[in-house]
Amino acid sequence: MARKPKAFESAECALQMTPMIDIVFQLLIFFLVATKMRVPEGELEAFLPPDQGRPSVSDIDPIQINLRFTAPKGEPAVLFGKTDAGQAMTMIELRDKLKGIGSDPEMREKVPVIINADPSVPYKFVIQTLDYCKKAKFAKVNFAAAGQ
C-alpha cells in the first residue's frame, strides 16, 4: 500500500486551534468584566398602622420627630413635638437622642414614634431616621399621614 503524501497528512492536523482559543478567552474575559454583579440589597420593614386614619387611643404621648426641609439635597432640621419645640438638631444628634431614649426598655416598648417629614425632604434622611429608630429598638414607628 502506498503511503499518503506527507503534505496531505500534515494538512489534516493543521487545524489551527491556538488563535481560536485566544479569541474565546478574550470573549470569556469580556463577559466576565462586562457582567455587572448585582449589589446585595437589604430591606427595612415599614410599620403601617393596622387601622388607617383613626387616631391611636393610647394615652401615651408619642415622640414626634419632624424633619423640616432646609435645602435641596440638604440635611433637614430635626425638631421634636407637635409644635416644633426646642432647638433644631442634626441627624447625628437625633441618633444619639434616640439611643438615649431607647436605652429605657419601658420607653422603647410602649412609646410610639411618629416620623413627620416635609414632602420635599430627600428620602434618604427619612430612611436614616427609620434606621436610627430600629437601631434604638423602638417597637412602634409610624409615618405621619400626608397633609398633617
Partner 1 sequence: MTPMIDIVFQLIIFFLVCTEVASLDRVENLELPFATEAIPEEHKAGRLVISIDSKNQIWIGGRVRSLEEIERYLKIEKERDKSKADEKTSQPVLIQADKFSDWRNVQNVITIASKLQFWQLSFSAKKEQ
Contacts of 93 (CB under 8 A, 6+ apart): 78
Q: Which one of 9, 11, 22, 27 is in contact with partner 1 (CB under 8 A)?
A: 27
Span from 24-32, 58-66, 86-94, 98-106 in contact with partner 1 (CB under 8 A) = 24-32
User: Is residue 12 a contact point for partner 1 (CB under 8 A)?
Assistant: no
Cell of 24: 474565546
User: Is residue 92 a contact point for partner 1 (CB under 8 A)?
Assistant: no
User: Is residue 54 a contact point for partner 1 (CB under 8 A)?
Assistant: no
Instruction: Find the shortest distance in angstroms from Cβ 50 to partner 1.
Output: 6
3-class DSSP state of 13: helix
User: Is residue 41 a contact point for partner 1 (CB under 8 A)?
Assistant: yes
- Is 84 or 131 the residue whose CB approaches partner 1 more closely? 131
Cell of 122: 430627600
Contacts of 79 (CB under 8 A, 6+ apart): 65, 66, 68, 85, 86, 88, 89
Contact 67, 129 (CB under 8 A): yes
Question: Which is nearest to 119 in space by CA: 90, 55, 79, 76?
Answer: 76
Span from 55-63, 81-89, 103-111, 130-138 in contact with partner 1 (CB under 8 A) = 130-138
Which residues contact partner 1 by CB under 8 A?
17, 20-21, 24-25, 27-28, 31-32, 34-36, 38-46, 48-50, 52, 67, 73, 117-124, 126-128, 130-131, 134-135, 143, 145-146
